[in-house]
Structure 1
């Protein structure tokens, strides 16, 4: 699996300021509606439900919110870079500025886990994160993410 299979160029967005996690999830929902024809309120609700189980911030300014949606037929990705970091209840207490969101079919198992592992490994790469933080052009951000090597998940 490769990030280019789950993240299209128009699935990347830069936001100047977000006031809360809920507002971020609303923006993710709107992008999912625009890009993938998913109902924004359902996406927001699914992300909020997953987040209620525990924060999806993984540390070092990165969050990996994810949710399952019954109407999807494959795993889909969205990426957002925040110009002003947001408190995300991260375990390391660092605010988040890089968000890679995964949306998976309701019944998906292995594919969702493979995608989550791929994105997690990519976003743990300090060189990738440094490049993402140094750029604000959406095409460049997409290129950085999709040029990261494909990673085989167990």
Structure 2
């Protein structure tokens, strides 16, 4: 499989789609992301992922507005891009650009070297999340499987 055609369905696994996650803060959301990636792939360091996500947030919030955040970071020793999709039980403060609380999160952890793929994925995500109807359909999911299906359904 070549890395040039990275799409959301290549990087998101059903077990990395989490529905109605209870989270009280931005820090807790980032901890949950790191925990889940580590559970999914034990070779990846939970603390390293968490620290890299936090470091990225310090550069500027990844809250892109309309209740959506796309936290992302690079990770040394990672072979492939990993995505985590979460809807939150309750909206939380995320320092988003529009100051709105966040309840829809898509985290992206990419290999240290991946730059163009990384940007390509971010733009794919931003495009999908720009569609308010699509976001509402994600927010309405009651289980992880439906969430995964809706996120990865071919977008025409």
Q: TM-score range by the shorter chain?
A: over 0.9
**Aligned partner of residue 8 in structure 1, secondary structure:** strand
Pick from 14, 20, 23 the counterpart of residue 19 of structure 2: 14
In 1, distance between residues paired with 2:91 and 2:153? 24
| Structure 2 unaligned residues grouped into runs of 5+ | 1-5
Contact kept? 1:61, 1:94, Cα under 8 Å: yes
Contact kept? 2:19, 2:147, Cα under 8 Å: no
- What does residue 58 of structure 2 align with? 52
**Aligned partner of residue 18 in structure 1, secondary structure:** coil
1:102 aligns with 2:108: yes
1:36 deviates by 2.6
- What does residue 71 of structure 1 align with? 77
**Aligned partner of residue 101 in structure 1, secondary structure:** strand
Q: Which runs of 4+ in 1 moved over 6 A?
A: none
In 1, distance between residues paired with 2:126 and 2:40? 22
- Scaled by the length of structure 2, the TM-score of the pair is 0.91
Residue by residue over 1:53-93, the C-alpha shift from the partner in whole angstroms, topping out at 9 and shown as x without a partner, is 00000000000000000111121100111010000011211
| Structure 1 unaligned residues grouped into runs of 5+ | none
- Scaled by the length of structure 1, the TM-score of the pair is 0.92
